[in-house]
Amino acid sequence: MFEFIAGHYDYWFIIVLLIIGLYGMIMKKNLVKKLIGMTIFQASIILFYISGSIKADATVPIITGKINNGDPSAYINPLPHALMLTAIVVGVATVGVAFAILVLIYKKYQTLDETELIERMK
């Protein structure tokens, strides 16, 4: 049991991050805080991919014959990192669109607090 927890400790941190993000999105009343929750949520998934592709004592996947004598088991799989670069870009774009929408909301209602916003919408 202890090994199950200790052996996967990075995943436990990721799950905690995921739950913090979900909590922020659901429970926080301020829209900017909801957005912060969303970025934490996305970051936890990016970390999941990165920690899933970790390999001890491995090096960059460039075959020159000089590093590790071209032994394939000593190289890291670069694909998850490349995927996560794309996911980070997507996340940045999402945050950009979200801030643009928040500016629109603030211009129309002069508040970013959800309860107050629903009050003013009536």
Partner 1 sequence: MIANHLPAIIPLIFLTSALLIPLLGIWKKSFVYPVAILSVLSATCLSVYGFIYVLSYGTINYYFGGWAPPIGIEYVYDPLSSFVAMVINIVSLFVLIHAYRIVPSDLQGRETAYYSVVMLLLTGLNGMIITGDLFNLYVFIEISSLSGYALIAVGEKRAPFAAFRYLIIGTIGASFYLLGIGYLYFMSGTLNMNDLAEILPLINDSPTVLVSLILIIVGLGIKMAIFPMHGWLPDSYTYAPTTSSSLIAPIGTKVAAYALMRLLFFVFGVEFFSIELPVADMIAVFACAGIIFGSVMAMAQKEMKRMLAYSSIAQIGYIGLGIGLANPFGFVGAVLHLLNHAFMKACLFLVAGNLRVKAGHSNITLMDDTFRKKYPWTMAAFTVAALSMVGLPPLAGFFSKWYLALGTIENSRWIYLAVILISSLLNAVYFFRILEKVYMKSTAEDKAGEQTLKIKKDEVIPSMLIPVIVLATGLIVLGILNVVIVDQIYKMMPAGF
Q: How far apart are CA 61 and CA 79, in angstroms?
A: 10
Nearer to partner 1, 66 or 93 (CB): 93
Q: Which helix (H) or strand (E) holds 10?
A: helix 9-27
Residue 59: CB minimum distance to partner 1, A: 20
Q: Are 48 and 11 in contact, with CB atoms under 8 Å apart? A: yes
Where does this chain bind partner 1 (CB under 8 A)? 22, 25, 31, 34-35, 38, 41-42, 45, 48-49, 52, 80, 83, 86-87, 90, 93-94, 97-98, 100-102, 104-105, 108-109, 117, 121
Cα–Cα dist 48/87, whole Å: 12
Closer Cβ to partner 1, 16 or 83, answer by number? 83
